[in-house]
Structure 1
Amino acid sequence: MQVARTNVVQTTRSSLRTFGRVVDLALRSVRGTVSDVTTRRFQWREMLDQAWYLITVTALPAVLMAVPFGVVVSVQVGNLIHQIGADSLIGAAGGLGVIQQGAPIATGLLLGGAGASAIAADLGARTIRDEIAALEVMGIDPVHRLVIPRMVAMLLVAPLLNILVIFVGVVSGYAVAIGAQNVTPGSYWATFGSFAVLTDVWVSLSKAVLFGFIVVIVACQRGLEAGGGPRGVADGVNAAVVLSVAAVIVVNLVITQVVTMFLPIRVA
Structure 2
Amino acid sequence: MAAAVAPAIRTFGRASILAWSALGWLAADVVRGRFAWREALAQSWFIVSVTAVPAVFVSIPFGVIVSVQVGNLTQQVGATSLAGAAAGVGVVRQGAPLVAALLLGGAAGAAIAADLGARTIREEMDAMRVMGIDPVRRIVAPRLAAMTVIAPLLCVVIVFMGLSTGYLINVGLQHGAPGGYLSSFASFVTVSDLVAALVKSALFGIVVVVLACQRGLEATAGPKGVADSVNAAVVLGVVATFGLNLIITQLLSMFGSRVLG
TM-score normalised by length of structure 2: 0.97
CA offsets per residue over residues 115-148 of structure 1, 9 Å max, x none?
A: 1100000000000000000000000000010000
What is the alpha-carbon root mean square deviation over aligned residues? 1.1
User: In structure 1, what residue type is equivalent to 2:119?
Assistant: R
2:62 pairs with 69, 81, 93, which one? Answer: 69
Aligned match of 1:102 in 72, 91, 95?
A: 95
Alignment of 1:74-223 (within 5 A): 74-223=67-216
In the other structure, the counterpart of 2:234 is 241
Letter in 2 for 1:178: V
Q: Which residue of 2 aligns with 1:5?
A: none
Identical positions, percent: 53
**2:218 aligned with 1:225:** yes
3-state SS in 2 of match to 1:208: helix
In structure 2, C-alpha distance between the alignment counterparts of 1:68 and 1:17, rounded to whole Å: 39
Whether 2:46 is the aligned partner of 1:53: answer yes
- Describe the superposition over 1:22-60 as per-residue Cα deviations: whole angstroms up to 9, x where unpaired: 000011011111111111111100000000000000000
Shift of 1:159: 0.6
CA distance in 2, matches of 1:88, 1:133: 62
Q: Which runs of 5+ in 2 are unaligned?
A: none
**Counterpart-to-counterpart distance in 2, 1:95 and 1:215:** 26
The AA in structure 2 aligned to 1:70 is G
Q: Does structure 1 residue 18 correspond to structure 2 residue 21? A: no
Output the CA distance in 2 between the equivalents of 1:31 and 1:198. 31
Larger displacement relative to structure 2 (111-120 or 63-72): 63-72
Q: For residue 34 of structure 2, what is the aligned residue in structure 1?
A: 41
Corresponding residue pairs, total: 258
> 1: distance between equivalents of 2:209 and 2:60?
26
- Give CA deviations for 1:46-103 in whole Å, capped at 9, x if unaligned: 0000000000000000001111221111111111111111101001111111101110
Provide the C-alpha distance between the structure 1 equivalents of 2:241 and 2:83, rounded to a whole number of angstroms. Answer: 28
Provide the C-alpha distance between the structure 2 equivalents of 1:214 and 1:74, rounded to a whole number of angstroms.
30
* SS of match in other structure, 1:263: helix
Q: Secondary structure at the match of 2:231?
A: helix
Query: What's the CA shift for 1:175?
Result: 0.6
Distance apart, 1:11 and its partner CA: 2.7
Provide Cα deviations, 1:148-202, integer angstroms capped at 9, x if missing partner: 0000000010011000000000000001101121101111101111111110000
User: 2-side partners of 1:184 and 1:262: how far apart?
Assistant: 34
The code of the aligned residue for 1:91 comes to G
The residue identity in structure 2 corresponding to 1:193 is A
Which secondary structure does the structure 2 equivalent of 1:158 belong to?
Answer: helix
Which residue identity is paired with 1:258? L
Match of 2:248 in 1: 255
Structure-1-length-normalised TM-score: 0.94
